[in-house]
Amino acid sequence: MGTSNTEISFSKKTTAIRRSLLATAAMVVPLPLWAALPTPVAPSTGPPAGDWIGLIQGYIKDGGLVLGLAIAVLGFLWIAYLGFAKFNEARQGKAEWAEVGVLGIVGAIVLIFASYLLTEAAGVI
């Protein structure tokens, strides 16, 4: 004899319930293992425990410093790209070699100045 539609529907429901219970159990069982996770790194300012405002300000400060470093890296890459492009133009005879030298000197000055400004900004923030 075959099975009726009611029996098939009941077995599907129990299977779904079993799966959801197993998924819940699988999520609850490893909870003690989460206790071994490392604590998050505190910001560089190191506010006292319980000072949430100071903690957020410290993370914002560290984020600003990382953003400044990213801007400095982009500036370095931009000047390096311009230097390679000017060097290629000089090799092809479209530009003079003096232009490559001037770009190198001016690029170095710009990078030093940008580094100085970022260092000062890090002290102010």
Digit-coded pLDDT (tens) for 91-105: 999 999 999 999 999
One domain, residues 10 and 58? no
In whole angstroms, give the CA distance from residue 14 to residue 21: 10
Q: Looking at the structure, do residues 31 and 53 belong to the same domain, yes or no?
A: no
Same domain? 82 vs 105: yes
d(Cα 79, Cα 109) in Å, to the nearest integer? 11
Asked whether the predicted pLDDT for residue 46 surpasses 80, the reply is no
pLDDT category at 108 given cuts 50, 70, 90 is very high
Instruction: Say if residue 6's pLDDT is above 80.
Output: no
Token look-up 């075959």 returns 2
User: Looking at the 3D structure of the chain, how many domains does it have?
Assistant: 2
Same-domain pairing of 56 and 105: yes
pLDDT of 88 over the 60 cut: yes
Domain match, 27 and 75 both: no
Nearest to 41 by CA among 55, 53, 61, 57: 55
* Complete DSSP assignment for 11-35: HHHHHHHHHHHHHHHHHHTTHHHHT
Domain containing residue 21: 1-37
- CA dist 108 and 112 (Å) reads 6
Domain identity same for 26 and 68: no
Regarding whether 93 and 65 lie in a shared domain, the answer is: yes
pTM: 0.59
